[in-house]
């Protein structure tokens, strides 16, 4: 069995694997210079040249890991917030990194593994390895996994045969479902504006009043463009019956200790932003719903802690909840 055959044989029902060469991504250099993307490497040269990260790189092995989930449990009367399916359970960085390390060991190759930690543009790596194309939503579309998957890759010194190019399909065509469904209007025909993306806003350290309205009841992330995409309708979905995983309890989050937060959220993809940002989003979630005395009681209780960071959001939430009521 060749190295390539070993690599492809590692693929399963919820993953896709492809191979590309490790030559520089010169085709995106000017584009990267013209945009300001958050949470990424600022050195453009490192973002386009794999060999500036791993000097012996000759090939890239990309993996897509599906993370689609569906709630099959029972709802209750607790005040809960919405969470992106990508932020549920054990952090995907840990899961995907483990799978890539296992692949590296199985194929007996040398190299470095990256899961949202390397300077390269993950989606361009995925495209280079002939695993998908860009969708109007800004996500990548893969024939098998739809658009709901994480991307990781291995830079290796092996000279591997690249994955054959897939049929040149225009996946989106005249479909505008993601554009129409996006509540903040960040998905447009002429491109994607991350600054208005709800997923980005839930991670932002400070939110103005307009942005607070925009995130609605989202605790972290947003899946709306993913949910309406036709390519995700028949994708394998993990069934989640635990409501606390799918719809976090707001009261529990607002009053948990640092130790409890470490245990509950730190190993999820949302935990990296810290307890205060998630609590802020939970407070905003309470305000962005019809009047609820229970919501106002929670806000009043949280206010007694005199948290400097949360104080402005608490004051705004109290005012908004009261405006939604009979006051």
- What's the CA dihedral at 262, 264, 266, 271 to 10 degrees? -120
Nearest by Cα to 18 from 147, 153, 117: 153
As beta bridge partners, residue 18 has: 62
Rounded mean pLDDT, 118-134: 95
Structural domain total, the chain: 2
Which pLDDT belongs to residue 294? 95
Which pLDDT belongs to residue 194? 86
- Write out the DSSP string of 156-221: ESS--PPPPPPP---SSTT--HHHHH-TT--EETTEE-GGG-HHHHTT-S---HHHHHHTTTEEE-
In a domain, 98, yes or no: yes
In a domain, 171, yes or no: no
Q: Which of 156, 187, 210 lies at the terminal end of a domain, its last residue?
A: 156
Indicate if 29 and 151 belong to the same structural domain.
yes
Indicate if 70 and 137 belong to the same structural domain.
yes
Which pLDDT belongs to residue 193? 84
Alpha carbon distances (Å) from 211 to 198, 274, 284, 319, 323: 8, 19, 10, 16, 18
Rounded mean pLDDT, 170-191: 91
Rounded mean pLDDT, 59-82: 95
Question: Between 193 and 296, whose confidence is greater?
Answer: 296
For residues 155 and 8, give the distance between their C-alpha atoms in angstroms, rounded to a whole number.
16
Indicate if 47 and 110 belong to the same structural domain.
yes
Indicate if 142 and 227 belong to the same structural domain.
no
Indicate if 132 and 240 belong to the same structural domain.
no
The set of catalytic residues is: 116
Indicate if 209 and 316 belong to the same structural domain.
yes
Strands, E assignment, the chain: 15-21, 59-66, 69-71, 82-83, 111-114, 133-134, 140-141, 149-156, 187-188, 191-192, 218-220, 238-240
Indicate if 182 and 300 belong to the same structural domain.
yes
pLDDT single digits (tens) 20-59: 999 999 999 998 888 877 777 888 999 999 999 999 999 9
In a domain, 163, yes or no: no
Indicate if 201 and 56 belong to the same structural domain.
no
What is the longest distance spanned by two Cα atoms in the chain?
A: 73
Contact predicate 228/178, CB 8 Å: yes
In a domain, 17, yes or no: yes
In a domain, 188, yes or no: yes
pLDDT single digits (tens) 209-222: 999 999 999 999 99
Angle at 223 between CA 87 and CA 44, to 5 degrees: 75
Write out the residue range of the structural domain in which residue 318 sits: 177-324
Alpha carbon distances (Å) from 322 to 51, 74, 105: 57, 30, 59
Which pLDDT belongs to residue 220? 96
**Range ranked top by mean pLDDT from 188-192, 285-289, 319-323:** 285-289
**Mean confidence (pLDDT) of the chain:** 93
Indicate if 151 and 32 belong to the same structural domain.
yes
Indicate if 128 and 214 belong to the same structural domain.
no
In a domain, 8, yes or no: yes
Indicate if 190 and 97 belong to the same structural domain.
no
| Res 326 pLDDT > 90 | no
| Res 327 pLDDT > 60 | no
In a domain, 113, yes or no: yes
Which pLDDT belongs to residue 157? 98
Q: For 223, how many CA atoms within 13 A lie in the half-sphere containing its CB?
A: 19
Indicate if 65 and 182 belong to the same structural domain.
no
In a domain, 82, yes or no: yes
């Amino acid at each position: 069995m060749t190295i390539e055959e070993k690599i492809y044989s590692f693929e399963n029902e919820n993953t896709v694997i492809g191979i590309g060469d490790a030559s520089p991504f010169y085709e995106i250099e000017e584009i990267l210079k013209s945009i300001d993307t958050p949470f990424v490497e600022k050195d453009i040269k490192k973002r386009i040249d794999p060999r500036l990260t791993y000097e012996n790189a000759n090939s890239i092995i990309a993996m897509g890991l599906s993370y689609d989930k569906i709630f099959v449990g029972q709802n209750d009367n607790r005040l809960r917030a919405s969470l992106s399916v990508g932020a549920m359970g054990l952090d995907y960085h840990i899961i995907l990194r483990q799978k890539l390390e296992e692949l590296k060991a199985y194929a007996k190759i040398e190299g470095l593994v990256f899961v949202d930690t390397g300077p390269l543009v993950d989606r361009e790596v995925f495209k280079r390895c002939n695993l998908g194309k860009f969708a109007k939503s800004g996500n990548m579309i893969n024939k098998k996994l739809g658009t709901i998957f994480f991307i990781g890759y291995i830079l290796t010194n092996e000279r591997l045969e690249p994955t054959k190019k897939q049929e040149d399909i225009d996946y989106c065509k005249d479909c505008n479902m993601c554009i129409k469904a996006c509540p903040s209007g960040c998905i447009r025909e002429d491109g994607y504006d991350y600054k208005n993306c709800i997923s980005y806003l839930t991670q932002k350290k400070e939110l103005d009043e307009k942005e607070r309205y925009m995130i609605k009841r989202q605790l972290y992330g947003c899946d709306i463009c993913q949910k309406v995409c036709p390519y995700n309708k028949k994708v394998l979905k993990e069934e989640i019956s635990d409501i606390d995983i799918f719809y976090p309890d707001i009261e529990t989050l607002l009053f948990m200790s640092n130790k409890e937060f470490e245990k509950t959220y730190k190993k999820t993809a949302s935990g990296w932003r810290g307890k205060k940002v998630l609590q802020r989003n939970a407070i905003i979630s309470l305000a962005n719903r019809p009047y609820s005395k229970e919501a106002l009681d929670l806000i009043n209780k949280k206010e007694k802690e005199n948290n400097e960071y949360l104080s402005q959001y608490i004051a705004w939430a109290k005012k908004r909840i009261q405006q939604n009521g009979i006051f």
